[in-house]
Structure 1
């Protein structure tokens, strides 16, 4: 039972990390383009499946398409995304220069990070609630002793506290990353 609770909470942490990877900081990160999809022979595919993504400089992303005729489609997909980046190309590669973040934009990004963290905490608390309900169900239907029930619920709470602390740590790290000029 505890393994299942920990696995589900670990998935919440993984989802949080994935969400935070797409939030832009001052530095270039290939994960920024994870949700960008390019039209490729009639279907929408992730940008990393049509070219090689690299970070040649701290504030630049470079996309080297496997087929030269995809450059226009890649540029179109980036412009269509909500990243607010302007791609430039030289016929061989597509470059994305990340502009410096303004103080207001940094504060907005920190708010997004905190909202994502809170969403993750709610998810973890819901998992705790489900596990506690399962324990209470065992007390009622299977005759689990009350003191055993209390011990199991305490253990579930300890697991929950550990994962909530991990979320706080991840959020704090991302905030400092965003606020560092």
Structure 2
């Protein structure tokens, strides 16, 4: 949809950022499949400095439920293993001397349902963020009309555009959540 109003354009960008944030959040939810984003929040103490794991090691997915972490510097292997153990992943690393393998366990049906609820909760947070952007956008549009920048007819048309942008963003949030939920429940 072609948007010309700067208020709606800026709000649309904010809504898009909310969708991106939701996608990142959903990437951290373990779905029973190996996914490199599971390790994105892990930092390793490397020569006294907290360093993100993905900067210290190559993370690959050799099999559907296996993550392989291969440090660029083999001397950092023990520190990488320690950081993974200390994380909230709940997966025990297997160190073979050159790389670390993480076998993602199958999820129980109960755990799948629990994770699906988490996905729904995150999606609801995403929708709330989108609605807050919409509310601010509508306030700005009404202020523009009050200030005489736009007339009543323009305000009505812009409010319709704003609602379309909001509906589209909420639909995107639902799609992201549905895909993640399907991934979790199918496992």
Q: If the length of structure 2 is used for normalisation, what is the TM-score?
A: 0.93
Cα deviation, 1:10-48, whole Å, max 9, x if unaligned, reads 111111111111111121011111111111111111110
The residue aligned with 1:139 is 145
Deviation at 1:148, TM superposition (A): 1.3
2:161 counterpart (142, 155, 177): 155
Deviation at 1:177, TM superposition (A): 0.5
Structure 1 segments, 4+ long, off by >2 Å, are none
The residue aligned with 1:169 is 175
2:76 counterpart (70, 75, 87): 70
Deviation at 1:6, TM superposition (A): 1.5
Deviation at 1:76, TM superposition (A): 1.2
Change (3 A) 1:155 1:38: same
Gaps of 5+ in 1: none
Across the aligned residues of Structure 1 and Structure 2, the Cα RMSD in angstroms comes to 1.0
The residue aligned with 2:116 is 110
Distance of 1:36 and 1:143 partners within structure 2: 50
Deviation at 1:84, TM superposition (A): 0.5
Distance of 1:162 and 1:118 partners within structure 2: 15
Deviation at 1:143, TM superposition (A): 5.0
The residue aligned with 1:50 is 56
Determine helix, strand or coil for the equivalent of 1:142: coil
How many residues were matched structurally? Answer: 181
Change (3 A) 1:68 1:174: same
Deviation at 1:144, TM superposition (A): 2.4
Gaps of 5+ in 2: 1-5
1:179 counterpart (175, 181, 185): 185
